[in-house]
Structure 1
Amino acid sequence: MTGGTQEAGRVWAHVGQAFAEWEYDVVVVGAGRMGTACALFLRRLAPGLRLLLVERGGLPNEEGATILAPGVWTALDVPPGREREAAWVRAALERDFGDVTFQTRALLELHAGEGEGHVPTADLLAHFPEAAGLLDPAALPWTRLDGEAATYRPGAVALACGQGAVRVGADLLLNTHAHLTPGGVRLDRLTVTNTHQIVTHETHELRAGVVVVAMGADGPHAAEHDLGVHTAHGRAYRQTPRLNTASSDRTPLLRAGGLTLRPQHGGFTLIPPIHHRDPHGYLPGGGRLTGVPVGVRRETLEDLIRLMDALPPLATEALEVGHSLADVPGAWLALPGGRTETPPVHQRLTDGVHLLLGGPLADTLGLAVASDLAAQIAGVRERPWE
């Protein structure tokens, strides 16, 4: 953290605001939680660097994976050896972002068989009566409990980090598509025609000493297409159906068969498991339920059907399956290393170009990995959690 007063950065939200810059020390492409956090941490560590944050949509982008991320911090998701990073992320979420509601909420990870650390589900339900009607203890008799799990909104984190970065001097360019080029980026400023088509209004060539590619699932593709650099990273399309069964501030999180029931907005958001990376060129398709087309993709539909006996509300009209894909929120999710269980990563692609990916474990480790990359660019060796 740097002291003193810093002049706020500039914001270009639409093409009516003239953009005449041609060089920055650092350009961060992507204003999801990973990109905005990296920009904020870097400006704090190296306030002398001129930094531009570029986003294809708004802040935060309502079509990105950040908005639809679970927002569940739990020690059960922390890989061995990364506990101190995860604890630092939790402390930062509780302490550093005043507009982010970070709420401790117990998580019950339900199992059909007994394992290490498991306790009888029936015993736990005496302490969590709000969960009693959501599951069948006979089908899921064993539970691993994380009493210190918590929920928050990753979109709020992205907004807080983005606004914080601007306050400490970062510039922000919205509604702009960035293409990676040798030594910088090409910026296509986007506008909407009177027929609702998104078109390029003007193009700028920008030099940059360092480019951070924080474009989520689009990042590896951009690196391969624009720079010809092969990466081993993948992506998957994840939807978040809605379960209109009543929840409250006291309702715990439930996780069974990889499916997470997250209490939200008086009901539940369903976060399905990711079984594998989607092949290149994949287009999400819906499934069928008793002969009726539904908007939930086939893999997710099969998961829900498999769990209907153990989680009875899934077999009722409370489950929103939609009639088209547009009815069920979904987004492409980055898979670091091409696998679903890999923590967030940053990777040097070429001289001056770094790839920053969140992925399925970004809720618990994303801020730490963004901070680590910012420190590397700033030339700072100390990590705040060490």
Structure 2
Amino acid sequence: MPALQPQPPAPGRVWAHVGQPFTPGPHDVLIVGAGRMGTALALALHVHAPHRRTLLVEEGGLPNEDGATLLAPGVWTLAGLPDALHGAAHWTRAQLLTLGGDQLQSRPYLTLHAGAGPGRLPTPDALAGHPESLTLLNPASVPWATPQDALTYRPGLLAQQAAQQAIGQGTDLLLNTRVTPHPGGQVTLERLTVTNTHQIVTHETFTVQARTVILATGAQAPAQAEHHLGVHTRHGRAYRQTPHLNAPSRPGSPVLHVQGLTLRPQHDAYTLIPAVHHRDPHGYEPVGGHLTGVPTGLRRETLEDLVGLMDAAPVLATDALHLGRSLSDVPGAWLALPHGDLHAPPGHERLDEHTFLLLGGPLADSLGLYAADQLARQIAAGSEA
């Protein structure tokens, strides 16, 4: 008798809208949030804990158009990372290449400096062969450059691919559903629908129990922990905009990092990734700024940074910079700050016996997949019990 061949896992179920009847099934793990961190965790669980039944729940679509995952420019680099994190970053890079395939692009990454130092090249030499990049800068202001490697990618597409692979391995996905966590691993699921007047309302409500619940909702997760579980965390958040710079770039153009501002080549132009200087205070609502007395859509902090960089990057003083007439004209999203630290790596922590918090933050491009994998290993080891 021929040996029995192992059968591939049955794919998971997907509930995309309220027209599909939903019956809560037994799930060991419930992941709240289908952004880059939540989908990476769902996929990692099928590597490290293939027998755990997982439900991935997202309040919007896949990926959610309102979250930081879709708006993150996606730049993997070792620049600015301490040596102790390089191993985790290289592991993440390998996973990005496996997940992303052809949509990842390898590029140089140049950090520009005002003075000489070890490993630095004259800026014109570092940009030889990239005249489109040299025209953006004032080499007299930033005459030196440190070259490193980078990968550019779209985190939203990576999240979608990770979710699709996880579903193929058996993860269930519930979209358009708001989750309220409760102590003890119990959660309330509110399936959402839209009325004829475009109001979002609750269509039906379910209460489910899971052995492990992971809050992976980005900047909203610490507030969810405090409001619904009564657990105060030290995590913060900030609102970051990514303005558009309509200056020509090419597929091989380098990523430029100038005094805290990153210019990421994207769609034949550039996306600007400003520095995050501090967490925003509780209750803060983003507001725009003024340039020569004219209201703009850029928030004041971002505008002040760009004005201060106009000598090093004169292109910022031209009409190539998209200022926007309102905040809605300039892409922006709330960003989680793990431990309230601008330079803290992504990580996870236990909130109670059944609930974990999983946060990406400013370094999620280079380290997020590694943090999700570490939590999956912990769940697989049963240390969440």
* Aligned equivalent of 1:77: 80
How far the C-alpha of 1:127 sits from its partner, in A, is 4.1
Indicate the SS of the match to 1:149. strand
How far the C-alpha of 1:128 sits from its partner, in A, is 2.9
How far the C-alpha of 1:4 sits from its partner, in A, is 4.3
Task: Choose from 30, 33, 54 the match for 1:27.
Answer: 30
* Aligned equivalent of 2:163: 162
* Aligned equivalent of 2:3: none
Q: 1:60 is aligned with what amino acid? A: P
* Aligned equivalent of 1:191: 193
How far the C-alpha of 1:124 sits from its partner, in A, is 1.5
RMSD: 1.4
Indicate the SS of the match to 2:147. strand
Q: Taking every aligned residue pair, what percent have the same amino acid on both sides?
A: 59
Unmatched segments (≥5 aa) in structure 1:
382-386
Is the 2:59–2:175 contact (alpha carbons within 8 Å) kept by the matching residues of 1? yes
How far the C-alpha of 1:184 sits from its partner, in A, is 1.9
* Aligned equivalent of 1:356: 358
Residue 171 of structure 1 pairs with residue 165 of structure 2:
no
Pairs within 5 Å for 1:278-357: 278-357=280-359
Task: Choose from 261, 264, 287 the match for 2:263.
Answer: 261
CA distance in 2, matches of 1:15, 1:21: 14
Is the 1:77–1:364 contact (alpha carbons within 8 Å) kept by the matching residues of 2? no
User: What does the per-residue CA deviation read over 1:278-310, in whole Å, with 9 as the maximum and x for residues that have no partner?
Assistant: 001000000001111000000000011111121
CA distance in 1, matches of 2:147, 2:190: 49
How far the C-alpha of 1:373 sits from its partner, in A, is 0.2
CA distance in 2, matches of 1:250, 1:37: 28
Q: How high is the TM-score relative to the length of structure 2?
A: 0.95
CA distance in 1, matches of 2:55, 2:292: 51
Point out 4+ residue stretches in structure 1 off by more than 6 angstroms.
Answer: none
Task: Choose from 5, 8, 30 the match for 1:5.
Answer: 8
CA distance in 2, matches of 1:380, 1:91: 27
Indicate the SS of the match to 1:172. strand
CA distance in 1, matches of 2:176, 2:357: 21
* Aligned equivalent of 1:384: none
- C-alpha change, 1:97 and 1:149, in structure 2 (3 Å) is closer
Pairs within 5 Å for 1:215-254: 215-254=217-256
How far the C-alpha of 1:22 sits from its partner, in A, is 5.0
Is the 1:77–1:361 contact (alpha carbons within 8 Å) kept by the matching residues of 2? no
User: What does the per-residue CA deviation read over 1:254-275, in whole Å, with 9 as the maximum and x for residues that have no partner?
Assistant: 1111111111111101111000
Pairs within 5 Å for 1:265-280: 265-280=267-282
CA distance in 2, matches of 1:353, 1:21: 19
Q: 1:120 is aligned with what amino acid? A: P
CA distance in 2, matches of 1:365, 1:102: 16
Is the 1:78–1:364 contact (alpha carbons within 8 Å) kept by the matching residues of 2? no
* Aligned equivalent of 1:66: 69
Aligned length: 377
Unmatched segments (≥5 aa) in structure 2:
1-5
- C-alpha change, 1:228 and 1:116, in structure 2 (3 Å) is farther
Is the 1:22–1:205 contact (alpha carbons within 8 Å) kept by the matching residues of 2? no
Is the 1:27–1:54 contact (alpha carbons within 8 Å) kept by the matching residues of 2? yes
Q: 2:17 is aligned with what amino acid? A: H
How far the C-alpha of 1:170 sits from its partner, in A, is 0.5
Q: How high is the TM-score relative to the length of structure 1?
A: 0.95
